[in-house]
Structure formats: structure tokens, C-alpha cells
Chain A
Amino acid sequence: MSTVTWITARGLFGRRRFLMLLPLPAVLVALAVLCWSLGVAPADWGPPVLVGLGLAVVLPVLALVVGTGVLGAEIDDGTVVHVLTKPLPRWQIVLPKLAVATGVSAATVAVPIFVAGMLADSVRLGGALAAASALGALAYSALFLAMSLLTRRPVLLGLVYVLIWEGLLGRFVSGTRVLSIQQWVIALADRSAPTDLLSTTVSVPVAVVLTALVAIGFTALAVDRLRSFSIAGETS
């Protein structure tokens, strides 16, 4: 485990405000258990809980806060200088940070969504959802990590993507769904455990290729941006 990994993990967990994110997955499990124990038909509660809450809200919001936090917080504080001045290749800074961000958001999302998927249908659906959301966490983390290097306001730009692109446009303009990580996650989960709880218009090969492309492309972009990164004070 490299020092950068260690610093990043401590930066995330060492602050009390990270604990404020834990209610998000807890609510997901609580709602799933509540619906299951009251005997509501899974066809009724599956889509709103699994997709509406789990994949559309908990996964992107967690990945957003964690993904922009691993590097963005250090840029905000100015402590990123200490890491940048060490004789480390840039990819050895970006990759550990990406790994921590992915690991944390994948773990905090996969566990509750596994429980919810298991209660909704089967262990197989739970496993498929957990695996797909872990891949989704990788894609989201790479995207948001790159955003924190491209702009000074990564959270707001990330919110534009999550709220306006995936949330608003994805609902009304079906064409934008092809470029939505949320839909790829749904497609991947539906492929490995076919049920009628999940439905998407994106085909599986497209989802696989685009997920890989986003994960690799934005990581490469982040490495490249960090190469010519200039530290400036807070503007505007």
C-alpha cells in the first residue's frame, strides 16, 4: 500500500463529515427491509428502491462526494503541493487516489444494494447489482476525479452531470441515456441477472465498451492534467 493511498484514505475517514454520508446506504437497506417485511410485491417496490434510490441517487451522490474529495479537498487546502513536489510519476498519484475513491464508494454502495437486490428477487440479482454498481463506481470516480482537476468547482459540474444530464434529460430525452453511467450500470446488472425489475434501452456491449472507455479515458485525462497542474488561489 503506497503512502498516497494511505494519505488519501486518512483524508477521507479522518473527518467526521464523512460519517454524514453513511445514512444514504442505511436508508436504502431500511426501505428494502421495510417493504420486504410488509410483503409488498417486489415488482412494485423493486424499481423505485433499487433504481430510483440506489442506482440513481445513492451511487452517484456518494461517488461524487468521495470522487471529488480525494483530490479536490487537497487542491482546496493547498496541501496537494506536498504530494506534487515528491519525485513521484503523476500516475502514481492519480491511480492510488482513484483506487481509494472507487473502493470506498463501491463498498458503501455494493453492500446495501446487494441486500436490497437479494430481498427483491434473489442472491443472483443482489450479486449482479453489487458487481455492476462497483463498475459504475469506478466509472463515476474516474469521471469526478478528472473533473476536480479540470475545474475549480468539481462538485457543481458533477451535479450538472448527475442532476441535469442523467436525471432531467435522461427522463425526457431518451437519446442521452446512451451516455449515462446510470443506464450502463442497469444494463450490466440486467445482463447478469435477467429480471423484469430492471429495464434499460442501452445494449450490453455498448454499456461495457463505454464504461471501460470512461474509466480509462478520464483516468488518462486526469494523469495528463496533473502533469501540467498549476496551483492558484481561490478565485471568483
Chain B
Amino acid sequence: MPESTGVIHDIGYQRYTGPRLGRRHVFGALYLHGLRTIFGLGRSAKAKIFPWLVVGIVTLVAVIVAAVRSQIGEVLLTYAQFADSMSWLIIFFVAVAAPELVSRDLRSGVLPLYFSRPLPRGDYATAKLLALVTGLWLLLGGPQLVMFLGAAFTTDAGLRGVGDELLDLLPALLYAGLWAVVFASVGLLVASLTGKRAFAAGGIVAVFLMTMPIGGTLAILPSRTVNELAGLVSPSTLVMGVGTWALPDPPGADSGEGLMIGGFGPVYAVAAVLLVAACVTLLLLRYRKVAAR
């Protein structure tokens, strides 16, 4: 029997003995990373083009609105109307951001790595969803703040004018939050179904864009009840319907262009809550299954 010549060297491997941060910190890190991904921060210049294009356009519109108001005194768009008229850009922004958040991870197969950490599946989906909600809210809320500052610094009524303006702004920020929650949950659900960013973007746009004319067509059918409920079929008119019901001075109320919702305001609110709840549930179910592959 030959003498054993092998030696085990101690090459200095050590166990990690520092603090382990746990679930909350993983969640926080994922959320922050998601928020940075949406705006392309920490990524190459190419990843910044589309998000910042949208941010730029939205801010430009807000600056124009604020400038016109301070110079001529004409209010082109109220805070809530601003959110409504930006709806196409919000759709585009969701189509840019949602696939970046979830489709890339699906495509490159890194989900098992995420789920080998102390991170429940639900947390992954929730963190991404919260990041998208925050991103959309910032997209709408930031320009509204610009409009507010423009109005606040040019008001004639002194501090009371600023106070009135603030009271106009706060409900509009909540309304922007509603836009963000509804669009983020629908968009993220669609994006989580495919690993191809291109196809996810197409799907998101198809869902939002298709439903809008359907609502428009239902609104001219010869039945008053159907007309007033027509807004329910499309996420954007659904949100506008809730706004018409809940906001103190609803968008389009004076011009008659607003949504006809009759006495169905609460129905719209309930439908919005149900839509968000359904999308979040489906998203969580999706992530219960997806990592098993």
C-alpha cells in the first residue's frame, strides 16, 4: 500500500459571520433596484433613452402649462386633467418599464437565484410592482409639482393662494396614484407572462389600446345604462370614471367632455379595486409557478 502523499492545505476559506440582513432588506434592495431599472439609472445610456424621453415630454408639457398660466392667466389643464391627457405616454412608459422589470429576469433564467435567498415568491412580485407604481407616480406627480410651483410663485392671493393651490394639488396627487396602481398592476401582469421584452411591450400596448375604442363604441349604443358603464372596459376610462366620481372638480366637467358615468361612480371605484386585486392575485399566482421551471 503506497504511502499517502496528499496534503490538505488551509487556503483560508471562511464562513460568513457578519450580520444577515434578512427578508426586509432583500425586499428593500429589490425595490430600489427596480426603481432604478425603470429610469435606467446605473445602466448604459441606451437604457435611458426611452424612459427619459417620456419624462422629458411630460415635464415639457407641465412647464408649458405653468408658463401659459403665469403669463396669460389661462388654465390649459388642471392637475387632474394633466394626468388624463398624458394617458398615452403613461401606456408607453409602462410598455418600456414593465418588461425591463420582469421579462429580463424570466429570459435570463435568474429567478432560481433570487428564490434561493430568504425571499418569498410573493415578495419578488410585490417589490417589482411597488417599484413600478412608484415610478409611474413620480412620472405623473413630478410634473404636477412643477405646475404647482409655477402657480404658487405667481399667485396674487399671497399665502392663501398657495394654500388653495395646495388643496387642488393633493387630490390630484392621489388621483395620479390611482393611475399608477391600476396601470402598473395590469402592465406588470402582462409583462410577467413572457420573457421577450419586445413581445411584452406589444402585449401591454395591445391590452391598453384595444380596450379604449371598445369603451368608445359601447358609449354610443342605444342604452343609457350601457353608455354609462362603458368606461369599465378600459383601464384608462375606468380610472377617469373614478376621478369623475371622487374628485372635487372632475376633469372635463365644465366642458362637457368628461366621462358620462351617471350614478355609477361607486361601481367604477369598486371595479378599479377589483381589477387591481385580480391583477395582483394573478401576478402572485404566476410567480408561485414560474420558478418551478
Contacts and interface: CB of A to CB of B under 8 A. Distances in A.
A49 B210 CA distance: 11
Interface string B121-160: 0000000000000000000000000000000000000000
B194 interface: yes
B213 A156 contact: no
A16 to B, nearest CB: 11
Nearest to A15: B199
Contact of A49 (B44, B198, B202, B217): B217
Given A76-B196, A163-B88, A168-B89, A35 B203 contact: no
Contacts of B88: 163-164, 167-168
A53 B212 CA distance: 8
A53 B92 CA distance: 18
Contacts of B62: none
Contacts of B96: 156
Contacts of B221: 34-35, 38, 40
Contacts of B209: 57, 61
Contacts of A57: 209-210, 212-213
A222 to B, nearest CB: 17
B214 A155 contact: no
Contacts of A44: 220
A159 interface: yes
A76 B203 CA distance: 18
A9 interface: no
A31 B50 contact: no
A44 B213 CA distance: 13
Contacts of A138: none
Given A49-B217, A236-B43, A163 B91 contact: yes
A35 to B, nearest CB: 6
A166 B61 CA distance: 18
Contacts of A73: 198
Interface string B176-211: 000000000000000000101111011101100110
Given A38-B221, A39-B222, A61-B205, A163 B92 contact: yes
Nearest to B48: A236
Contacts of A154: 198
Contacts of B212: 57
Given A72-B198, A163-B91, A156 B222 contact: no
Interface in A7-63: 17, 20-21, 23-24, 27, 31, 34-35, 38-40, 44-45, 48-49, 52-53, 56-58, 61
B47 interface: yes
Contacts of A61: 202, 205-206, 209-210
A76 B198 contact: yes
A162 B201 CA distance: 13
A24 B214 CA distance: 11
Interface of A: 17, 20-21, 23-24, 27, 31, 34-35, 38-40, 44-45, 48-49, 52-53, 56-58, 61, 64-65, 68-69, 72-73, 76, 152-156, 159-160, 162-164, 167-168, 235-236
Q: Give me the 6 closest cross-chain CB pairs, A-B, nearest first.
A: A53-B213, A155-B198, A236-B46, A236-B47, A52-B213, A236-B44
Given A49-B213, A155-B199, 17 more contacts: A23-B210, A27-B210, A39-B222, A45-B217, A53-B210, A53-B217, A57-B210, A61-B209, A64-B202, A68-B198, A69-B198, A73-B198, A156-B95, A159-B205, A162-B205, A163-B92, A236-B44
Interface of B: 43-44, 46-47, 50, 53, 57, 88-89, 91-92, 95-96, 194, 196-199, 201-203, 205-206, 209-210, 212-214, 216-217, 220-222
15 contacts: A23-B210, A31-B217, A40-B220, A53-B214, A56-B213, A61-B202, A76-B196, A153-B50, A154-B198, A160-B53, A163-B88, A163-B205, A164-B88, A168-B88, A236-B46
